[in-house]
Amino acid sequence: MFEKRYRLNLVFNANKVYDRQVIEGIGEYLQAAQCDWDVYFEDDFRYRLDGLKNWQGDGIIADFDNPEVEELLKDTTIPTVAVGGSYHHKEDYPRFPYVATDNGALVKLAYDHLKRKGLPQFAFYGVPSTPFTRWSNEREYAFVEQVSADGFEPYVYQGLCTSAECWQSAQQDLEGWLMSLPKPIGIIAVTDSRARHLLQACDHLNILVPEEVAVVGIDNENMARYLNRTALSSVQQGCKKMGYEAAKILHRNLQGYAAEKALVVVSPVGIEDRQSSDFRALKDPYVMQAMHFIRHNACRGVKVAQVVDFVGISRTNLETRFTEEIGCSMHEQLHMTKFYRACELITSTDLPFDEIARTCGYPSVQYMYTVTRKNLGMTPGEYRVSSRLAKE
């Protein structure tokens, strides 16, 4: 009457956002299917290869992006489902049922996003090629293929592995590469972490983001997306679905069914469009400087006079140039920049509304309520609820 209680081993390092989301998807399947399984997971959420050798359980779901894990499990007789990145050569896939993130689709989503913004040149910032970074190699390959097919030159830089000891030299080398690139340019970073390196280097070099360099990351990692002054645009992988599918395949296997699909490739969820890729093809260098200053300082309560002081030409001259190219006044742009920032914080955080009002430079929370009602026809609370319902 009741299903056997199976023992499951999850071989992941949950210090990575990718692994955490896969694990979350596994958990969602266990709840949905009401599986009465004992799940073994190291106390610090990191797998131990020595312990894996002696595992005597009923099933394994493992991260095969790590070649050491793949090598250790290649001959196991325990039902195993592998999770990892997709490959353009089919022979690179393991013999196990395999659930993969679609590396080519991840890159295409970011690349198409930058193309739609009107950027004329494209680059890729990856990681050094090692047996542990096959997923990065695949994303780099996809980038070069897609950009070359459109007749553009693919600029690629792998950079250095970063640690506390070599952080400064790695950033200096990255800055040298950024200085060598033609501008404006869109850069796809292989992860959100590498994207943050780019944003910091641009800030040090006074390279305008996104006016000169637009950046898109991959992971859409909520925890660290605001560590830079510029909010990061990022592609969200379908990691939760990967975990769900992996658990589903293993469950059927444990019930005695053959795996219906030896390979499941999961498409990305979508892209979060934030400030780092909000590129507009501006021709006037004064307008470009004004837009950059507004993007970074509107929420500090700056006025038009301070924008004019920053750019260094007369107010009348700048107002004329700005209105002709942007289609609105600098005052209107300051207002809308604050409003868009408030909307982002309302929908993507749980911050109290009075704190959001202060963060966005509004004189009071009541004033922010008035602005939100005028532009959206609803209060900040109503907007937060409706936006989250729309994503479910």
- Global pTM? 0.82
Distance, CA of 243 to CA of 154 (rounded, Å): 33
DSSP labels, 130-150: -GGGHHHHHHHHHHHHHHHHT
Distance, CA of 211 to CA of 359 (rounded, Å): 24
| Listed residue (59, 69, 71, 61) closest to 99, CA to CA | 61
Superfamily of domain 103-236+272-277: Response regulator (3.40.50.2300)
Q: What is the pLDDT along the chain (392 residues), one digit of tens a residue?
A: 456 788 998 888 877 888 889 999 999 999 998 888 888 877 766 677 777 777 788 899 999 999 999 998 988 889 999 999 999 999 999 989 999 999 999 999 999 999 999 999 999 999 999 999 999 999 999 999 999 999 999 999 999 888 878 888 999 999 999 999 999 999 999 999 999 999 999 999 999 999 999 999 999 887 666 667 788 999 999 999 999 999 999 999 888 877 656 899 999 999 988 889 988 878 898 998 999 899 889 998 899 999 999 999 999 999 999 999 899 999 999 999 999 989 989 988 889 999 999 999 999 999 999 999 999 999 999 999 998 887 66
The answer to whether the CB of 292 falls within 8 A of the CB of 278 is: no
Q: How far is CA 118 from CA 156, 169, 265, in A?
A: 20, 33, 30
Beta strand ranges found along 172-322 (DSSP E): 185-189, 213-218, 233-236, 263-266, 270-272
* pLDDT computed for residue 50 by the predictor: 74
* pLDDT computed for residue 224 by the predictor: 62
Q: Does domain 7-101+239-268 have CATH number 3.90.1200.10?
A: no
Residue 322 has, within 13 A of its CA and on its CB side, a CA count of 27
Multiple choice CATH, 285-384, 3.30.470.160, 1.10.10.60, 3.55.50.30, 3.40.50.720: 1.10.10.60
Does 103-236+272-277 match 7-101+239-268 at the fold level?
Answer: yes
| Listed residue (63, 388, 16) closest to 218, CA to CA | 16
* pLDDT computed for residue 226 by the predictor: 64
Per-residue tokens: 22: 């896969």
Give the contacts of 24 (CB within 8 A, at least 6 positions apart).
239, 240, 243
Distance of CA 46 to the CA centre of its chain: 23
Distance, CA of 202 to CA of 200 (rounded, Å): 5
Respond yes or no on whether the N-terminal peptide bond of residue 210 is cis (omega within 30° of 0). yes
* pLDDT computed for residue 260 by the predictor: 58
The string of pLDDT tens digits covering residues 80-123 is: 999 999 999 999 999 899 999 999 999 999 999 999 999 999 99
* pLDDT computed for residue 45 by the predictor: 67
The answer to whether the CB of 106 falls within 8 A of the CB of 237 is: yes
Per-residue tokens: 386: 């409706």
Residue 300 has, within 13 A of its CA and on its CB side, a CA count of 10
* pLDDT computed for residue 1 by the predictor: 45
Distance, CA of 99 to CA of 261 (rounded, Å): 9
* pLDDT computed for residue 16 by the predictor: 80
The string of pLDDT tens digits covering residues 40-80 is: 877 766 677 777 777 788 899 999 999 999 998 988 889 99
The residue extents of the domains of the chain are 7-101+239-268, 103-236+272-277, 285-384
Element (H, E) at 291: helix 285-297
CA distance between the termini of the chain? 34
